[in-house]
A and B are shown apart, each in its own frame.
Chain A
């Protein structure tokens, strides 16, 4: 039982990472009907920025927030420079452009920072937390806490601020929003910027566990895809819950189903994505979109 609870908590910790990245994917999808295949690589690159800052002697938390700001600006820039020109092009074009971004970020990171793995500091104490008989990793708990705080901030932003309202309006009905005086183009860019920021949080939180290298986010991204698919690409709440479920399931399967272990990690995600898409394509919390022809 103790092992079970430990595994669930560490599953929630991994799941919170998936949730953050899935939320980033969903935000972009909601606003622009694009799945950003480069989301994970943008997060990885932001993590390298944090690593450089910390290595240059900046204390952890200032470096953390500076990275978020840089990621925000980076996301904004990517949307304005690269995504906007193909905004109204067919899906194939946009998918290819985000794949282009994926390989650009991946190779740039390899070029600048080399392909060797780098350790990344954790801001949380090394000693595990004991509650009764059960031992929890401090980083796991801290990771969950940070993700929860970020989620809370986003929720407050979208629910209670005029800018958040404007962004929701722009995503839901761009034409009417424009008539109401909302600058829809900039709202979309803001969506990309915020998404890049969540990605950065996910990257920085997961780097102490996975170690930093240019391919660090490959596995995380595919699980974030699975999470977003499970929760529904049209539902931010679904993305978060999907992320947590996927994280816990992954951990429990890894512990109790011996023949899968970690060797078939991607295969499990693939199976999950295909099964969800076949059984319930809208995901658990997504809404059906009727198409007029």
Chain B
């Protein structure tokens, strides 16, 4: 069996299992899986920007918040059906990300990290400040939608399936985007901006567009989370959300599409297990793993999986797999 075929087979089996889950798992577990998919969409967005394009964002929680609040305000204040709030939130975040990306063009590496870090800290304050719209510190309580067209599934099952469908669509779009000409331009800018420009890549346009698309992904995830949790509150969008997303892409694998999914599983389940030790334990573990991964395994879980995969399919690879010194050097997923 050749490699691409085998990979397709794995993906198909994974999707089939995912489709079967709502009929075997309890509603609580299902809710957790829904959250994993939401995280995965957000992580793919951040990975697009930070992993593939090399623009460091420590403030992607801000776009998650914009998406969530767009959906919540549309539903709560104007009674817009939740289905419509998702694309609207994505578009608003696309614009917001593009606009933030424009000044970000002038900020290189560290300075962009600084500015986005400040953005992440400022978000809860800004949300509380516009109390009239956002409901202030209390946030907004929403109504959990039921399944449409009289489908024989309950609300949790429906939201799971909806999220799964969106996950598949966004990943399909993302993978195709990265595989093509645009994807190569995005990666080229990360690896050598000057050379990319010399090759005719419009670096400023590609960079700000990547920022926009990345924000749109994360914003869509935010809107989904508002619908699924049926609540938004300013303090859930603090700096630690942004850091959680960063942890997700680093542990999952920088510049890797499946890495976003591994990362999402990681940030959803590890805190659950670690919480039993102490309230602070999940973060201590996160912190230590961040450093250990950066030093010892910069390609993340995705790099490890790839290494094992190559060994299982008995392909002798000439490149040193899994231990590339630079994070995110494996451009293709």
Contact = CB atoms under 8 A, between A and B. Distances in A.
Interface residues of B, number: 48
A273 B54 contact: no
Nearest to B51: A92
Contacts of A96: 246, 250, 290, 294
Contacts of A100: 286-291, 294
A108 interface: yes
A172 interface: no
A238 to B, nearest CB: 15
B256 interface: no
B50 A92 contact: yes
A96 B51 CA distance: 12
A185 B194 CA distance: 31
A120 to B, nearest CB: 21
B118 A97 contact: no
Contact of A111 (B278, B286, B289, B298): B278
Contacts of B56: 91-92, 95
Interface in A88-111: 89-93, 95-97, 99-104, 106-108, 110-111
A265 B291 CA distance: 31
B133 to A, nearest CB: 15
B314 interface: no
B327 A269 contact: no
A246 interface: no
| Chain A contact patch, size range | 35 or more
Contacts of A89: 294, 298, 325-327
A161 interface: no
A218 to B, nearest CB: 7
A110 B129 contact: no
B278 A37 contact: no
A57 interface: no
A165 interface: no
B117 interface: yes
Contacts of B126: 264, 267
Contacts of A108: 280, 284
Interface in A254-270: 263-267, 269-270
Given A89-B326, A104-B287, A281-B106, A267 B246 contact: no
A103 B283 contact: yes
Contacts of B281: 107, 111
A274 B115 contact: yes
A293 interface: yes
A222 B114 CA distance: 9
A277 B118 CA distance: 13
B280 A111 contact: yes
Contact of B115 (A85, A265, A273): A273
**B121, B129, B278, B281 pick with most chain A CB within 10 angstroms:** B121
Contact of B118 (A86, A93, A222): A222
Interface in B292-315: 294-295, 298
B327 A92 contact: yes
A111 B194 CA distance: 46
A10 interface: no
Interface string A16-37: 0000000000000000011101
Contact of B122 (A101, A106, A267): A267
A92 B54 contact: yes
A263 B128 CA distance: 8
Nearest to A100: B290
A278 interface: yes
A270 B121 contact: yes
A264 B125 contact: yes
19 contacts: A35-B114, A85-B295, A89-B294, A89-B325, A92-B254, A93-B326, A95-B113, A100-B286, A103-B286, A104-B287, A111-B280, A115-B279, A222-B121, A225-B118, A226-B118, A229-B111, A263-B128, A277-B106, A277-B114
